[in-house]
Amino acid sequence: MFPLFDLSGKTAVLTGASKGMGLAMATALAEHGARVVISARNQDQLETAAQTINSLCGKDMAIPVVANAGQREALENLVETARSRAGSIDIVIGNAGVNPYFGPTSEISDAAYKKTMTTNVQSNLWLAQLTVPDMVKKGAGSVIFTASVAALKPSEQLGTYGMSKLALIGLTRNLAQEFGPHGVRFNAICPGLIRTDFARELWENPKVEDRIQQQIPLRRLGEADDLKGLAVFLASDASRYMTGQALTVCGGSNMWA
């Protein structure tokens, strides 16, 4: 294993990690030596995800903990469980996100707006507040938030979701500024259209083939596994002089954004 990417002895906590991009990133971290404490709301999916990682990487490399990222108490339990079962925390990936509303931002209900902002933005602040003290004590750590290319432009259908992800990038940069002197790094990943259940309503659209041919230079949709390398890079010493960045993974569709 290349030393720059070696995560042996590290503990990682991930939200939204029972399937899709979250599961792919958790698997990648475990493959490079980290113990991963994975969370999601669905118990059965989470147990299956942990079994998959453990069958690939070894017994107890993945620890499943049910948690709703939109509830601070659930995140507190997640972090306490992670510490008790895997030790102090070195890496965090805040991947949980929601999009309960498609349509004009001007017409969104208060409930849908609150749910979007709580889960996509505030939950990641909570997660940082709960875990960064471990990293400050060590003088090192990496926190990664999953944003989106939706943050980079307006949309009549995904506008509020994009707003929340732009706010998340802002949170990433502010925390990078605050905790940089302590050796703790914060970066955001901005996926394009990835073929996951979360984005199914978008990639199953019959017009998506035209979009692939006209807007994506690599001429394909992203797959969850396309996030694995970047997750390992940002979590490891390979990116030790990188913080406050928002990196797109989009097949080139947003290279000029």
Tens of pLDDT along the chain (257 residues) come to: 568 999 999 999 999 999 999 999 999 999 999 999 999 999 999 999 999 999 999 889 999 999 999 999 999 999 999 999 999 999 999 999 999 999 999 999 999 999 999 999 999 999 999 999 999 999 999 999 999 999 999 999 899 999 999 999 999 999 999 999 999 999 999 999 887 766 556 656 767 667 766 788 898 888 999 999 999 999 999 999 999 999 999 999 888 65
Residue 70 has what pLDDT? 96
The predicted-structure confidence for 15-60, as pLDDT tens digits, reads as follows 999 999 999 999 999 999 999 999 999 999 999 999 999 999 988 9
Q: Can you give the length of the chain in residues? A: 257
Residue 193 has what pLDDT? 86
Q: Tell me the torsion sign for CA atoms 133, 139, 145, 149.
A: positive
Report yes or no: 48 and 20 within 8 Å, Cβ to Cβ.
no
Quote the pTM value: 0.94
Q: Tell me the torsion sign for CA atoms 4, 24, 75, 185.
A: positive
- Dmax over CA atoms of the chain, in Å, equals 52
Q: Which helix (H) or strand (E) holds 212?
A: helix 208-215
Taking the CB of residue 183, how many other CB atoms lie within 10 A of it?
A: 15
Provide the residue type at 242 as one letter: M
Name the active-site residue from 101, 113, 161, 241.
161
Q: How far is CA 211 from CA 21, 46, 130, 215, 217, in A?
A: 21, 33, 41, 5, 10
All structural domains of the chain, each given as residue ranges with its CATH number in brackets, are 3-248 (3.40.50.720)
**Does residue 161 have an active-site annotation?**
yes
Residue 195 has what pLDDT? 78
